[in-house]
C-alpha cells in the first residue's frame, strides 16, 4: 500500500462530473445507494459463518452485487449534488447522521432466519424499483436499473427459496422465521415512505417513487409467505427515521467497523 | 514533447486489434472482446484514444483489473494517455458472448450460457449435460459459484460438480 502518487483508481460506472447539479436526484441516488451499501456490509458479516459453503458464496456474491449498486448510485449522487465527491468519499467520509438508508438494512442479524426475512423484503422491493427505473428518463438511473434488476432477480430467488425451506422445515426453523417476520415487518413501511423529492422526480418521469410499488410488493411477498405456510404479519407500529439520518443503536458500530481501515490509513490505495 | 497528432485510421485498427486480445482477469481463457465487454475503440473529443467498456456485473471485482489491462494495451500501442470509459446502457447480457468465447469456455470445463431470456431455472443450467461424463442426470447445486457469473451444478452419474456461466 502507498499513500501518495499512485494512479487514481478507475472510476466507478457513470459519466464524468455532471454539469447540472440536481439536489432531488442527488438525494434520491444517495438514499438508494446507502440502502445497498449498508445491507452489503451487514451481509458481509456472514462470510465464513453461513450454514453451508454454498450459502457463504451466495451471501457474499449478493453482497458483492449490492456493493456494485452502491458504487454506481453513490458516484452518481456525488456527481449530481454539485460537490464532485466520489463513491469512496461518500462511503468513508460521512458521519452516522449523514446516511440516508432505511433502518431495516442496518439491523443486526440475531440468526439466519432474520437475514432470510430481510433479504425477502429488500430483494422484492429492489427488484420492483430497479425494474421500474429501467424505464425512467434519467439515463444513468435507467442504465443502472436495467442491469441491477437482472442481478436482483437472483437475490429474490435465493430469499424466496430459503423462506419456503425454513417456513416448511422444522418446528424450530418455522419458529425462528415467525419471530423474524414479527420483528422485521414494522420496518418494511419505511421503504415506501412518501417524500417531496421522490414525488417530484416521479411526476417528471425522471425516477420512480417507491410509494407506488407498495401494492405489488405486498402481493409478491405475500405469495412467497403463503407458499412457505407463514402468515403475513400485521404490525401495530412502524419504524421511521432512517431517510432523515436518524438511526438505531446498531448503526454506529457497523459504520465504525466499515470505516476503520480508511481512518487508520487516510488516503491509502491498494 | 509535442502533443500527439490525431491517430490515423490504420493506427486505430491496430489499437482495436490489440485491445481485442486482452484476456478477462477472472476467466483468462476468454478475451474481453469475446466476453462482449468491449463496446467501442475510438477517439474522445479531445483526441485521446478511448475504449468504452460495459460492466458484466455492477459489482464485478475484476473491473479495475480489466481497466488496468486495457490501459496497458493502449500504452503498448503508443497511447499512454488512452482512456477507458464505462457505459451502462445497453446493459450487458450473456448473449453478448461470442461463439468463439463460448467455445473457449466449454473447452475449459465451464458450460457456456443459454439464451438470457430463458426462464430462470433454465438460465441456471437445468438439464445441462455433464461436461465430464456427458450424462444428462445433472442438477443445479448453487446459483452462486466461484465468481459472480458462475453457477455450480452437480452430476448425479459421475458425482463431479461443474461450473456453468449462468445466462443473465
Cα nearest neighbour of A52 on chain B: B142
Distance CA B136, CA B154 (A): 11
CATH number at residue A95: 1.20.1260.10
| pLDDT above 90: percentage of residues in chain B | 67
A96 located within any domain:
yes
Q: Residue range A41-61: average pLDDT?
A: 94
Whether A46 is covered by a domain: the verdict is yes
Q: Examine the pLDDT at A15 and tell me if it is beyond 50.
A: no
The reported pTM is 0.90
The contact set of B with A (CB < 8 A) is 55, 57-61, 63-64, 67-68, 84, 86-93, 120, 141-146, 148, 152, 168
Give the pLDDT band of residue B154 (cuts 50, 70, 90). Answer: very high
Cell of A155: 437475490
Confidence at B145, pLDDT banded by 50, 70, 90: confident
Number of domains in chain A: 1
Residue A4 lies in a domain: no
For residues A31-51, give the mean pLDDT: 96
| A181 within a domain of the structure (yes/no) | yes
* B63 with A11: Cβ contact below 8 A: no
For residue A269, is it within any domain? no
Q: Round the average pLDDT of chain A to a whole number and report it.
A: 93
The bridge status of strand B83-86 relative to strand B49-53 is parallel
Identify the pLDDT of residue B119.
84
Asked if A79 and A17 touch (Cβ cutoff 8 Å), the reply is: yes
pLDDT at B148: 85
CA distance B103 to B101: 5
Residue from A47, A55, A150 whose CB has the most chain B CBs within 10 Å, to mutate: A150
**Is residue A270 one of the residues assigned to a domain?**
no
Domain assignment present for A56: yes
Share of chain A above pLDDT 90, in %: 90
User: With 70 as the cut, is the pLDDT of residue A159 above it?
Assistant: yes
- Three-state DSSP at A268 gives coil
Question: What is the value of ipTM here, to two decimals?
Answer: 0.85
Asked if A72 lies within 8 A of B88 by C-beta distance, the reply is: yes
* Mean pLDDT, range A106-133, rounded to an integer: 98
Domain annotation covers residue A1: no
* Segments in B36-164 forming alpha helices (H): 63-76, 99-107, 120-123
Find the mean pLDDT for residues A25-37: 98
Chain B residue nearest residue A66, CA to CA: B59
Say if residue A48 is exposed, middle or buried (CB neighbours under 10 Å; 0-12, 13-18, 19+): exposed
> Which of B49, B37, B67 has the alpha carbon at shortest distance from B12?
B49
**Residue A102 — pLDDT band, cuts 50, 70, 90?**
very high
- Are B93 and B101 in contact by the 8 Å Cβ rule? The answer is no
In this complex, do B58 and A57 lie within 8 Å of one another by their Cβ atoms? Answer: no
The gap from C-alpha B64 to its chain's centroid, in whole angstroms, comes to 14
Task: For chain B, give the percent of residues with pLDDT over 70.
Answer: 94
Whether the predicted pLDDT of B15 surpasses 50: yes
Q: Do A147 and B91 touch (CB under 8 A)?
A: yes
From chain A residues 150-169, the ones with a CB under 8 A of any chain B CB are 150-151, 153-154, 157-158
Q: Identify the domain containing residue A65 by its residue range.
A: 15-260
Whether A26 has a pLDDT exceeding 70, the answer reads: yes
Per-residue pLDDT tens over the stretch B57-111: 998 888 999 999 999 999 999 999 999 999 998 889 999 999 999 999 999 999 9
CB proximity list for A138: less than 8 A, separation 6 or greater: A25, A206, A207
Confidence of residue A155 (pLDDT cuts 50, 70, 90): very high
Amino acid at each position: 500500500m502507498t499513500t501518495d502518487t499512485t494512479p487514481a483508481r478507475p472510476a466507478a460506472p457513470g459519466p464524468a462530473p455532471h454539469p447540472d447539479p440536481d439536489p432531488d436526484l442527488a438525494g434520491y441516488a444517495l438514499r438508494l445507494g446507502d440502502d445497498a451499501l449498508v445491507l452489503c456490509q451487514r451481509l458481509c458479516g456472514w462470510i465464513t459463518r453461513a450454514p453451508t459453503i454454498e450459502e457463504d458464496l451466495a451471501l457474499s456474491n449478493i453482497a458483492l452485487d449490492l456493493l456494485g449498486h452502491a458504487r454506481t448510485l453513490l458516484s452518481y449522487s456525488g456527481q449530481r449534488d454539485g460537490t464532485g465527491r466520489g463513491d469512496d468519499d461518500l462511503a468513508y467520509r460521512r458521519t452516522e447522521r449523514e446516511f440516508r438508508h432505511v433502518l431495516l438494512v442496518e439491523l443486526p442479524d440475531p440468526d439466519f432466519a432474520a437475514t432470510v426475512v430481510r433479504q425477502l423484503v429488500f430483494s422484492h422491493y429492489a427488484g420492483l424499483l430497479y425494474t421500474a427505473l429501467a424505464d425512467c428518463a434519467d439515463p444513468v438511473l435507467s442504465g443502472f436499473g436495467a442491469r441491477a434488476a437482472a442481478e436482483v432477480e437472483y437475490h429474490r430467488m435465493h430469499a424466496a427459496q430459503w423462506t419456503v425451506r425454513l417456513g416448511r422445515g422444522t418446528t424450530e426453523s418455522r419458529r425462528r422465521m415467525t419471530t423474524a417476520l414479527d420483528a422485521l415487518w414494522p420496518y418494511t413501511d419505511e421503504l415506501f415512505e412518501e417524500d417531496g423529492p421522490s414525488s417530484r422526480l416521479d411526476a417528471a418521469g425522471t425516477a420512480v417513487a417507491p410509494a407506488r410499488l407498495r401494492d405489488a410488493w405486498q402481493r409478491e411477498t405475500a405469495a412467497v409467505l403463503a407458499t412457505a405456510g407463514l402468515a403475513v404479519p400485521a404490525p401495530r407500529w412502524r419504524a421511521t427515521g432512517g431517510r432523515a439520518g436518524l438511526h438505531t443503536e446498531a448503526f454506529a458500530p457497523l459504520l465504525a467497523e466499515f470505516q476503520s481501515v480508511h481512518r487508520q490509513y487516510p488516503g491509502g490505495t491498494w | 514533447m509535442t502533443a500527439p497528432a490525431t491517430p490515423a485510421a490504420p493506427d486505430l485498427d491496430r489499437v482495436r486489434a490489440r485491445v481485442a486480445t486482452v484476456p478477462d482477469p477472472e476467466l483468462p481463457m476468454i478475451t474481453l472482446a469475446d466476453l462482449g465487454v468491449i463496446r467501442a475503440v475510438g477517439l474522445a473529443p479531445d483526441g485521446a484514444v478511448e475504449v468504452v467498456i460495459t460492466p458484466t456485473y455492477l459489482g464485478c471485482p475484476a473491473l479495475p483489473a480489466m481497466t488496468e489491462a486495457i490501459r496497458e494495451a493502449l500504452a503498448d500501442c503508443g497511447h499512454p494517455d488512452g482512456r477507458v470509459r464505462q457505459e451502462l446502457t445497453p446493459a450487458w447480457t450473456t448473449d453478448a458472448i461470442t461463439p468463439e468465447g463460448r467455445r473457449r469456455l466449454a473447452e475449459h470445463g465451464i458450460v457456456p450460457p443459454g439464451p438470457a431470456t430463458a426462464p430462470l431455472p433454465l438460465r441456471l443450467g437445468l438439464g445441462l449435460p455433464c461436461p465430464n461424463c456427458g450424462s444428462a442426470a445433472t442438477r443445479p447445486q448453487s446459483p452462486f459459484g466461484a465468481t459472480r457469473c458462475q453457477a455450480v451444478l452437480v452430476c448425479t452419474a459421475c458425482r463431479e460438480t461443474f461450473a456453468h456461466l449462468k445466462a443473465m
